Structure 1
Amino acid sequence: MKNIKKLLSIVLALCLVLSFTACSKDSSKTSKGEDTTKNQESTKNNENKDQEVAKDIPEITFYHGYFQDDWQPAVEMRKIYDDFAELHKDEFIFKPIAMETGGEGVYNKCTQEIAASKIPDIVDLAGYNVIPAASEADLIIDLKPYIDEDENFKNGIGVNIEQNNMDGKIYTVRDQLETMGFWYNEDLFNKAGADTPDKWKTWDDFAIAVEKLVDSSEVETPFTLSQGWTTNILFTGLMMGSQDGRNMLADNVKDFNNEAFKQALTFLKDNALDKVTSEYFVAGDSDKYREDFFTGKAAMLFNGVWESGSFVGDNVTIDVNSIKPAVFPTYEDNQNAAIMSASPGYIIAKNQDKAKIDACIEFVKYMTSQEIADKIFTKVMAMPPSTVLDYKKLEHESEGDYVVSNLAFACELAAHSKYQIASLGVDWGQDISDAIDGKYAGLKDGSKSIEDIVSELNQLLDE
């Protein structure tokens, strides 16, 4: 009984405690509610302050064409952009926007905005040219003063300084070069008893080698040419072979009745177009010129250094160790030439405040820095314009990695060529380059003479 009474007394005491606690909570409810409201107001005030701070940070919108998720270079480039945004998040907001239609989409956006007398904060044109219209409308800044005051910036952009100079101003620089020569199958050259391109002294040696390749039962075709791209590369190489040709390429062409131009077309017809059957002269949008090389039918492939990334995979049936890069010969003994186009790249809107322009300049410097040049080479598989990249070292360090070592070798050959000239599309404009592409078929089948081509192209200039 005593135990029961004791138990009841304990329960009663607990009830009193719980009752008191509940009353205490109820009596303090208003006070706690007031504290909560104050905390909410404090949080809201802090958020407002953060928003005010954010408003003071410049926001830069950057348009580019690397939208693809299934293309490694695009993925790597977007990572580089995101790294830059994170690096400077306390200084400015950097917003990369990928156009789902790629470089053409960026170009179209720029042309539309230029028509409305404006342009995005910063843009990567990726080779598409809006510079004449944008500079004439005074919409983009001249980068030359920033280049002149920064030696690292100057070293990082290399041939941009010469190729993108417009009357003493540099409105654009690009972080990747469109570098082209050709690739050859050493095994097929050896089977044909032809000197490999590394032994050629002049274009005459090219012609001799082609004859031996044509005559060899071991070789189906010396090369597959397209009615555009690949033939255009070869033709540009021929134009680079003489000083008169190089002079014509470097100028705004005013007359195609030029001996260097006609000689290049003559050599092209006699030693290339006439040396392939119709089976190996394909439509401009055909990829057969690459397939024929990968499967061992063609001894040469005219394309850029980036092709090094293609020599692995199920579509390649030839021994990759026989694939070698080459640059073009000239008409001067032992002097080489390569197509190295800086072409239009980054442009920065002029109608921005200083903080935004400085942020855009910082981005362009970042993209042409030594650090990013290394990434563009190793991750994006492209040739950066940097003049301080050591390709021999990169080639040595990548021994065992066929793709990277051959990319390094190809870039080294181009970088150390005697002459480096931009592509036809950059030098003469895409409309003229496309028009020349359209003449190769007529030159091959005899429906157009060289004089016909000269006359038709001059008519284009007069329009």
Structure 2
Amino acid sequence: MKKRSMAVMAAFALAAAGCSGGSGGANPSSGGAKPADSAPAKTEAPAKQVTLSYALWDKNQVPAMEEIIKKFKEKQPNIDVKIELTPSGKEYWQKMETAAIGGTLPDVLWMNGPNIVKYASNGMLMAIGDQVKASGLDLKNYPESLVNLYTVGGKLYGIPKDFDTVGMWYNKKMFDEAGVKYPDGNWDWNAVVEAAKKLTNPGKGVWGIAADMNSQEAYYNTIIQAGGGVISDDKKKSGYDSPEAIAGLKFWTDLIHVHKVSPTLAQMTDTTPIKLFESGKVAMLWAGSWNAIEFAKNEFTKDKVDVAALPKQKQQGVVIHGLANVISAKTKNPKEAWTFVSFLGSKEAAEILAKTGTVIPAFNGTQTTWVKSTPQFNLQVYIDMLSYSKPYPVSKDTSKWNNLETEYFKKAWTGELKIEDAAKQVATKMNEFLAQEK
């Protein structure tokens, strides 16, 4: 027991910080049974009054989750659910790491791609395959890629909650004033750069685009568009030393250092790119579908912005990912926790997520409701991009090479290191880590 405890502590000392993780490929909107034809999961009312803890990190999703919990409470009056909100994804994973080491994970929690293998393989999560089979819950109701993502060692650990892609948001007012046509989904990288040049006004502290050092919302997508990849399909080799990956990274650093149409990394550290966009200081921002609700609520952006599909280069490309709800292996109320998770995976819960515009629900057939929830934005582009989406890159110990990305790419974003050199150094060290994975 002592040796296992030390091993678990060592593994979790390297836990990743991130808001989202990876998906498992394939088109999430296709396949599966029609929601209307599937029977709801069978649940039994618990005999005792219990309170479950439910951990999440996005404040924008709290109202929808509270509404879902209210509906759940109507069906299961003996189960109370207490939301444990952490302000950011980074803080969330730091908190979960500490809780995992101490054996005090919340009863139910959000899980992402980069962390599922680590938590599942270290015995921190409850396998739910038997519960799914006994309840009658139909896994065909969810994108197969997400079900596969949360299956580790042949065992299912999570019920898909949502999925997301990335779009290019733009300020219509700024575009109109600069006489620039709106992006229409047919832009390439050159079009983005040329538009950004026209939209940049150094004297007013206004930039055409924010070159955020963000993997999921920025350079993972351009690497795909350049024809490259972050990691090989067999998870044994880094793709960062390929010309395509370097081109995808260089697109972003050039926006800062060559074209000078983006704030510097230091400026984006002082004021986040999303805040710069929401204050009219940045005209274009690549952002995940989960940000739609943020922009709809913000007084500045709610009627001034819209979203288009990402530009293409050698090919079209976008990263897809999705979260799942999982159960702690050490919950004192496994039966009640499963009852709650199965409801979170129901069509009823998905419709609440969709109609409130919170996120794109994973339950097949409910995505159109999400698109219609915020009619002033062209949210359909997030769904349309699924046809050429690629899974968020992960491996067993994703956090190890995620840390390398942060360490070396930061030097390239600040101009301290050439992006070519940074990418090759990451690839070398990443390959060493991948060789150690089993």
Identical residues among aligned pairs (%): 15
Instruction: Measure the CA separation in 1 of the matches of 2:66 and 2:178.
Output: 46
CA deviation after TM superposition for structure 1 residue 271, in Å: 4.5
Query: What 5-or-longer segments of structure 2 have no aligned partner?
Result: 1-45, 434-438
Q: Judge which range, 275-284 or 414-423, deviates more.
A: 275-284
- Secondary structure of the corresponding residue to residue 416 of structure 2: coil
C-alpha distance after superposition, 1:43-74 (max 9, x if no partner): xxxxxxxxxxxxx8266653323599xx5632
Asked whether 1:415 is paired with 2:401, we answer: no
CA deviation after TM superposition for structure 1 residue 195, in Å: 4.5
Which of 60, 77, 83 is 2:65 aligned to?
77
Asked whether 1:459 is paired with 2:429, we answer: yes
List aligned pairs for 1:127-206, cutoff 5 A.
127=112, 131-143=116-128, 152-156=138-142, 159-206=145-192
The answer for the alignment partner of 1:57 in structure 2 is 47
CA contact (8 A) 1:65 1:105 kept: no
C-alpha distance after superposition, 1:384-434 (max 9, x if no partner): 22221142x5555x5xxxxx2246x32x32222123345467897345334
Q: Do the aligned partners of residues 203 and 167 (structure 1) sit closer, same or farther apart at CA in structure 2, a change above 3 Å counting? A: farther
Query: What 5-or-longer segments of structure 1 have no aligned partner?
Result: 1-55, 399-403
Q: Do the aligned partners of residues 206 and 121 (structure 1) sit closer, same or farther apart at CA in structure 2, a change above 3 Å counting? A: closer
The answer for the alignment partner of 1:41 in structure 2 is none
Q: Do the aligned partners of residues 133 and 200 (structure 1) sit closer, same or farther apart at CA in structure 2, a change above 3 Å counting? A: closer
Instruction: Measure the CA separation in 2 of the matches of 1:322 and 1:101.
Output: 30
Q: Do the aligned partners of residues 111 and 293 (structure 1) sit closer, same or farther apart at CA in structure 2, a change above 3 Å counting? A: closer
Q: Do the aligned partners of residues 233 and 137 (structure 1) sit closer, same or farther apart at CA in structure 2, a change above 3 Å counting? A: closer
CA contact (8 A) 1:224 1:288 kept: no
CA deviation after TM superposition for structure 1 residue 212, in Å: 4.3
Letter in 2 for 1:329: P
Letter in 2 for 1:346: N
Asked whether 1:98 is paired with 2:83, we answer: yes
Instruction: Measure the CA separation in 1 of the matches of 2:100 and 2:347.
Output: 33
Q: Do the aligned partners of residues 163 and 357 (structure 1) sit closer, same or farther apart at CA in structure 2, a change above 3 Å counting? A: same
CA deviation after TM superposition for structure 1 residue 311, in Å: 3.9
Letter in 2 for 1:347: V
Q: Judge which range, 369-378 or 293-302, deviates more.
A: 293-302
C-alpha distance after superposition, 1:159-202 (max 9, x if no partner): 42243343544322342335432311234335545453224254
Letter in 2 for 1:462: E
Instruction: Measure the CA separation in 2 of the matches of 1:144 and 1:241.
Output: 37
- Secondary structure of the corresponding residue to residue 173 of structure 1: strand
Size of the alignment, in residue pairs? 385
CA deviation after TM superposition for structure 1 residue 208, in Å: 4.1
Which of 307, 315, 325 is 1:346 aligned to?
325
RMSD: 4.3
The answer for the alignment partner of 1:381 in structure 2 is 358
Letter in 1 for 2:416: S
Normalised TM-score (structure 2): 0.70
- Secondary structure of the corresponding residue to residue 162 of structure 2: coil
Letter in 2 for 1:324: D
The answer for the alignment partner of 1:51 in structure 2 is none
The answer for the alignment partner of 1:367 in structure 2 is 344
CA deviation after TM superposition for structure 1 residue 329, in Å: 2.8
The answer for the alignment partner of 1:325 in structure 2 is 307
Letter in 2 for 1:80: I
C-alpha distance after superposition, 1:361-387 (max 9, x if no partner): 332231122211121133362222222
C-alpha distance after superposition, 1:323-378 (max 9, x if no partner): 11123233356x4x4433214x322355789xx65544332231122211121133
CA deviation after TM superposition for structure 1 residue 453, in Å: 0.8
Q: Judge which range, 294-303 or 356-365, deviates more.
A: 356-365
Instruction: Measure the CA separation in 2 of the matches of 1:67 and 1:329.
Output: 30
CA deviation after TM superposition for structure 1 residue 243, in Å: 4.6
Instruction: Measure the CA separation in 1 of the matches of 2:138 and 2:311.
Output: 32
In our comparison, the structure showing a higher alpha carbon Rg is 1
Which of 243, 250, 255 is 1:266 aligned to?
250
Normalised TM-score (structure 1): 0.66
Instruction: Measure the CA separation in 2 of the matches of 1:140 and 1:81.
Output: 22
Letter in 2 for 1:135: A
Instruction: Measure the CA separation in 1 of the matches of 2:232 and 2:179.
Output: 36
Which of 386, 397, 401 is 1:432 aligned to?
401
Instruction: Measure the CA separation in 1 of the matches of 2:398 and 2:237.
Output: 10
- Secondary structure of the corresponding residue to residue 125 of structure 1: strand
CA deviation after TM superposition for structure 1 residue 448, in Å: 0.6
The answer for the alignment partner of 2:282 in structure 1 is 298
- Higher relative helix content: 1
Letter in 2 for 1:456: Q
The answer for the alignment partner of 1:23 in structure 2 is none
Q: Do the aligned partners of residues 130 and 163 (structure 1) sit closer, same or farther apart at CA in structure 2, a change above 3 Å counting? A: closer
CA deviation after TM superposition for structure 1 residue 124, in Å: 0.9
CA contact (8 A) 1:244 1:260 kept: yes
Asked whether 1:88 is paired with 2:66, we answer: no
CA contact (8 A) 2:208 2:262 kept: no
Letter in 1 for 2:308: A
CA contact (8 A) 2:209 2:284 kept: yes
Q: Do the aligned partners of residues 299 and 284 (structure 1) sit closer, same or farther apart at CA in structure 2, a change above 3 Å counting? A: closer
The answer for the alignment partner of 1:48 in structure 2 is none
